[in-house]
Amino acid sequence: MFNISGMTNSFLRIIILAFLMLCPGLMFEALAENVVPSRTIHLVYDDSGSMIKDEDGVYVDTWCQAKYAMEVVAAMLGDKDTLRIYYMSDYDQGRTGEPMTIKGTSDPGMVKANVEKVHQKVTAFSNTPFAAVKRAGSDFVHVQSDENWLVILTDGEFDNISKDEVEKYYYQVAADPHTKVIMLAMGAHVSGIDADPERGVYFEHAQTSDAIRGKLTGICNRIFQRNALPEIKGDRISFGIPMSQLIVFAQGNDVQIGALTASDGTQFSAKSNVHASYSELAASNLPHPENVIINRGLSGQVATFDGSFNPGDYQLAISGADNIEVYYKPNVSISPYLYDEIGLEVTKDEKLVNGTYKIEFGFTNPADNSRVEDTSLLGNVDYTATIVNTLTDGSKLEQTVKSGDTISIRDGELSVDVMARFLEYNTVHPDPLNYTIYFTNELAWQIVESPTYHLTSGGFGNGDEPLIVSVQMNSADGLKELTQDQWNAMAVPKVRQILGDVENEKEVPPIVLGEFRVEKGDKPGTFRIYPSISPESAMQTESGVASFEIGIAGNFAIGDSRATGSMKQTIAVQDDIKLWERVLEWIRQHPLITSMFILVLLFLIGYGPQKKRLPKKLYITINSEPTRVGKRNRVAPHETEYGSYHRHFGSVIGPWPFVKKQTATIEFNEQFPNAEVRAGADGMELLNANDFEDIDPSLKRKQRVRYNWKLKRTSYDQNYDYTCQLSLKEKQ
C-alpha cells in the first residue's frame, strides 16, 4: 500500500471543492423541455491507512478532510442524484460490504439527515483492495439512470492486480454508453493508466498539491457540469448570464448564510442550508486515537438557492466566513438568428421568404426570450445545428451548419435543430425551431413574337399585330411553367414605354407611344401586347425612326408567397411616312413661321442686291450759245441754267418689290423737254431720246452710259438760232 505523506489542509480542501460540484443533476440537453436527467455516481473511496499516517509514520489529517468532503457532497445532491460510497475497508481481506447509499432530495430535513449519515460513518482503515472497484462497477447492472459515473479516488496502487488488468476492467465498464469511468491518482510516484475519453475512460494525475486544484476542477466540470464564479467581492455576487441555481459554500467555524438580495430588492431564501464539520466520532474508532490528528478548522455551510436569477448584482447576507465559493448553473436556452443579404435580422414573427441568409446562434434568457449578450461565464461555445428544409413537393434538404454559415432556403418548411456546448462539457439542446418559408421568386419574361411595326401618317399600319411574350417562374430548380393557380392569380402586366433613346440616351424619345392594350393569351403564361400611336404623335416622330423600347413588369401573390419580375425590350419600327407628308404636317402645325418665311423670301427677292439703282442726286448744267442767222450781229450768250432731278418714288421703295430698275425724270428749262431715264448696269439710259432733235446717236440706241453726256438743240427766233449743250454729273 502506498501511503500519502505531506497531505495538507489545502489538498483536502481541494477534494471538498471537487465534490461541491455534485449537485442537482440538471443537464442542459433537455433544458427547453425542463427535464432533469437522472444520474448515479458510484464513488470508490480510498480509506487506507495512509489517510491517517504516512509511510514515515507521521500522522496526517487526510482522513479528517475526506470525511468533511463527504458531508459536503451529501449536502449538495439533487432530487434525481444517487450517490453510493464504496469504502475500500469494507472489501478488504475478502469482506463483502454494502455501499452507503444517499438519495438526493429537496427536503431540507432530509438533506440534513444525509449529511448526518456521512458524519456518523466510522470505518476501519485497511489496505487498497480492487474488489471495491469491481463491486462498484458491477452494481451498475441494477441501475436505471440517464448517466452513470464510476469515480475512483486513490493515493496508491491496488493490491494484487496489474495495471493492465485495471485498465481492462475500466474499459469493460465504459462499454455501456451510459457509463463513464474517471480515475484521479494523487502523488508523485503513482503510475497512470492509458485513458481514451472517446471511449469514456478518463485519467488525471496530480503530482503535487499545487496541480491538484486544476485537475479536480476539470474532472468535476466533466462529470457534474458545474462551475465556480471566478471572483467574489465580499458579500457581492455578480454575473452576466441568467442562472437557475446558485450554491454558496462558505468555510468558517461561526459562518452563517442568510438571504440573497437582487439589485431591485427581490429576496431569495436558501432552499437548504446545511452545516458540515470535522468528525470527533470517527477519530475515536481509529488505532491510537490519542495520536490521530483532528482538524477542528474544518467547518462550513452549504446554502442552495433555486430560482430564476437574472443577470446583475446580488448581495449575500453572510457572516463569520473565512472564504466563499459560489457555484452556478446557467439558465440559458439557445436560438437561431437569421440575417438577410444586407445584414438585417429577420425574426420568426416576420414572413420568412426563400433566399440566402446568414445564420447565427446565441443564448437567450428563458424568462423573457431576450438575448444573452455577456457569455463570458459560458466559456468557449461550440454551436452545431442541423437544418431540414422540407419543400412543397415533400422532399427534404438537410445540412449541418455552424454559427456564421450562409444558408440557402426554399419555400416550404424549415426546421432548425441547434445544440450548443459550453464550459467544455455543458450542453443545451432546445426543441427544434420551425419556420414556414414563403417564396418570393423572380418572374422571367421572354419574347415569343416581335413584329416590325409600320409607321404611317395615321399611326401604326399594322397595329392589330400583337407583341407576344411569355412568363415563367425562376425558382431554385430553374425555370418552371406557372401552375393554373398561379396563372389565375396573375393580373395582366404593366407595360410602359421607356423614355429616352436606347442607343443615344436622349432626353426625348424619337417616338412617343399611346396606351398599351394587354391581354392574357390562350394558354397559361402568355400575353398579347398591342402598342398604339396617335396620328399626331406619328407625324411628330423623327424621320427614319427605327425602334422604341418598352418595359414589362408583372407579379402575382398567393397568400404570403409572391413572384415578381420585369424586362425591357426594343421593338423595331419601319418609317413609311412620305417626306411631303412630313413637310405639309410641319406647315400645318407652324402657320406663323411659314408666313414669316414666305415674307422674308419675297423681301429678299424684291429688295435684294440684284436691284439696279440710280444715284440719289445729280448735278445738271445747261450751256447755250447763240448762232446768228442771216446777220452777222453777235448776240451775247445766255447765262448757264440748271435743271432738276426727280427719282420716281415707286421704283425706289413701296409695294412694288419686283421693279428691278429705278427710274427718274430730269427737268430742263424751256429749251429742252424732260428726260426720262432708267438705271443701267453701269450708269443710266435715256428712255425718250426721240423727244430731242439733235443728240448723240449712241443715246438714241439706249446705250448705257455713265452720267456725262450732252444734248443739243437749235432754237430759232427772229434773227438767231441757238445751240445748247447739256452736261450731267453725279453729285459727290
Which pLDDT score is estimated for 425?
A: 64
Residue 652: closest CA among 679, 674, 675:
679
Domains, the chain: 9-326 (3.40.50.410), 333-438 (2.60.40), 442-581 (2.60.40), 618-730 (no CATH)
Residue 345: closest CA among 362, 333, 365:
362
The per-residue pLDDT for range 678-694, each reduced to its tens digit, is: 887 667 787 887 777 66
The model's confidence at residue 193, banded by pLDDT at 50, 70 and 90, is confident
The per-residue pLDDT for range 165-180, each reduced to its tens digit, is: 999 999 999 999 999 9
The model's confidence at residue 415, banded by pLDDT at 50, 70 and 90, is very high
Which pLDDT score is estimated for 169?
A: 95
Rounded Cα gap, residues 125 and 282, in angstroms: 11
Which pLDDT score is estimated for 401?
A: 92
Query: Looking at the predicted structure, is the pLDDT value of residue 29 above 90?
Result: no
Residues 225-232, mean pLDDT to the nearest whole number: 79
Q: C-alpha grid cell for residue 339?
A: 440575417
Which pLDDT score is estimated for 23?
A: 35
Q: Report helix, strand or coil for 227.
A: strand
Which pLDDT score is estimated for 17?
A: 42
The model's confidence at residue 629, banded by pLDDT at 50, 70 and 90, is low
The per-residue pLDDT for range 80-91, each reduced to its tens digit, is: 889 999 998 889
Which pLDDT score is estimated for 215?
A: 62
pTM strictly above 0.75:
no
Query: Looking at the predicted structure, is the pLDDT value of residue 13 above 50?
Result: no
Which pLDDT score is estimated for 258?
A: 93
Range from 198-212, 317-331, 446-460 carrying the lowest mean pLDDT:
198-212
Which pLDDT score is estimated for 612?
A: 76
The model's confidence at residue 192, banded by pLDDT at 50, 70 and 90, is confident
The per-residue pLDDT for range 345-372, each reduced to its tens digit, is: 887 677 788 888 999 999 999 888 889 9
Residue 416: closest CA among 404, 400, 428:
400
Residue 334: closest CA among 401, 429, 415:
429
Task: Write out the E strands in 392-477.
Answer: 396-401, 406-409, 412-422, 426-428, 433-438, 440-449, 453-456, 459-460, 467-475
Please identify which residue in the block is written with the cell numbers 467547518: 299
Which pLDDT score is estimated for 635?
A: 47
The per-residue pLDDT for range 82-136, each reduced to its tens digit, is: 999 999 888 988 888 899 999 988 788 888 888 888 888 877 777 889 999 999 9
Residues 568-595, mean pLDDT to the nearest whole number: 89
Which pLDDT score is estimated for 223?
A: 64
Query: Looking at the predicted structure, is the pLDDT value of residue 213 above 50?
Result: no
The model's confidence at residue 546, banded by pLDDT at 50, 70 and 90, is confident
Task: Write out the E strands in 559-660.
Answer: 561-575, 618-628, 644-647
- Residue 238's beta-bridge partner residues? 313
Query: Looking at the predicted structure, is the pLDDT value of residue 636 above 80?
Result: no
Residue 384: closest CA among 365, 395, 399:
399
**3-state secondary structure labels for all residues of 131-191:** HHHHHHHHHHHHCCCCEEEEEEEECCCCECCCHHHHHHHHHHHHCCCCEEEEEEEECCCCC
The per-residue pLDDT for range 245-302, each reduced to its tens digit, is: 898 988 888 889 999 999 999 999 988 888 877 777 766 766 677 777 777 777 888 8
Residues 318-330, mean pLDDT to the nearest whole number: 87
Residue 73 host element (H or E) = helix 62-75
The model's confidence at residue 20, banded by pLDDT at 50, 70 and 90, is very low
Residue 567: closest CA among 515, 507, 517, 493:
493
Residues 640-664, mean pLDDT to the nearest whole number: 70
Query: Looking at the predicted structure, is the pLDDT value of residue 27 above 50?
Result: no
Which pLDDT score is estimated for 262?
A: 94
Rounded Cα gap, residues 511 and 182, in angstroms: 88
The model's confidence at residue 507, banded by pLDDT at 50, 70 and 90, is low
The model's confidence at residue 710, banded by pLDDT at 50, 70 and 90, is low
| Under 8 Å between Cβ of 262 and 310 | yes
Query: What is the overall mean pLDDT for the chain?
Result: 79
Percent of the chain with pLDDT over 90: 25
The per-residue pLDDT for range 376-394, each reduced to its tens digit, is: 898 888 888 999 999 888 8
The model's confidence at residue 508, banded by pLDDT at 50, 70 and 90, is low
The per-residue pLDDT for range 586-619, each reduced to its tens digit, is: 888 888 998 898 888 877 766 655 567 777 777 7
Range from 39-43, 52-56, 677-681 carrying the lowest mean pLDDT:
52-56
Query: Looking at the predicted structure, is the pLDDT value of residue 571 above 50?
Result: yes
Q: Which residue has the higher pLDDT, 710 or 570?
A: 570
The per-residue pLDDT for range 146-163, each reduced to its tens digit, is: 889 898 887 777 888 898
Cβ atoms within 10 A of the Cβ of 631, count? Answer: 10
Query: Looking at the predicted structure, is the pLDDT value of residue 471 above 90?
Result: yes
Rounded Cα gap, residues 531 and 538, in angstroms: 13
Which pLDDT score is estimated for 166?
A: 92
Which pLDDT score is estimated for 522?
A: 85
